[in-house]
Amino acid sequence: MNRERFYQNERERRKWQNPEVILTDLGLKPGFTFMDVGCGDGFFAIPAARLVGKTGKVYGLDTDDQAVERLKHKALTEGLNNLVLKVGEAEKTVLCEACADIVFYGIVLHDFNNPVRVLMNAKKALKPDGRLIDLDWKKKSMELGPPVQIRFSEDRAIRLIESASFRIETVKAIGPYHYLITAKS
């Protein structure tokens, strides 16, 4: 993907999804450790790095090495030194043990080959009082997003999260296209 097209797509996405508002509403603050599983180019990771500040840390994991390289470049350009990025599969990777205040899945949980294993790895990464966040596409036909048949309904996502021994705290709509599930161990 060329750089101009990437930034154009990010601007378009910001029209229907504001990462700073979502992360602030989650309670992300300076000093937190935030884990973005499926971080891609950093649509959420970069704003999270700004919010957690110099005393916080953002872990990012993605299978797309080119996306992770773009994210590294963006962080370097902004002088953000609080990101730890890795290329790898979420089913096989635990970035740290009991370190994260928030493990975040930003419209990706439906993409994993084994979402339960991914969620179990999140459980290992979370601090005892940490929270799991799943932001995903509503399972309805719309002009944006992946095909409706691969999306998880809120009920299916809840069942998957609960099967990984999480307790659901909240489920709410985030704009016209997404839902957000908050869970704890």
Alpha helices in the chain (DSSP H): 3-16, 19-25, 45-52, 65-78, 115-125, 154-163
CB atoms within 10 A of CB 146: 12
pLDDT cut 70: percent of the chain above it: 96
Structural domains of the chain ordered from first start? 35-168 (3.40.50.150)
pLDDT cut 90: percent of the chain above it: 86
DSSP 8: H
Written as six digits, the tokens of 137 are 């596409």
Give residue 145's pLDDT.
86
State mean pLDDT over 81-94: 97
Give residue 95's pLDDT.
95
Q: Is the pLDDT of residue 123 over 60?
A: yes
| Contact criterion met (CB below 8 Å) for 28 and 52 | yes
Q: Which residue reads 């970035």 in tokens?
A: 95
Among the listed residues 140, 139, 137, 181, the one whose alpha carbon sits nearest the alpha carbon of residue 161: 181
Q: Is the pLDDT of residue 31 over 90?
A: yes
Written as six digits, the tokens of 48 are 């999270």
* Predicted confidence (pLDDT) per residue in 57-83, tens digit: 999 999 999 999 999 999 999 999 999
| Contact criterion met (CB below 8 Å) for 59 and 95 | yes
Q: Global pTM?
A: 0.93
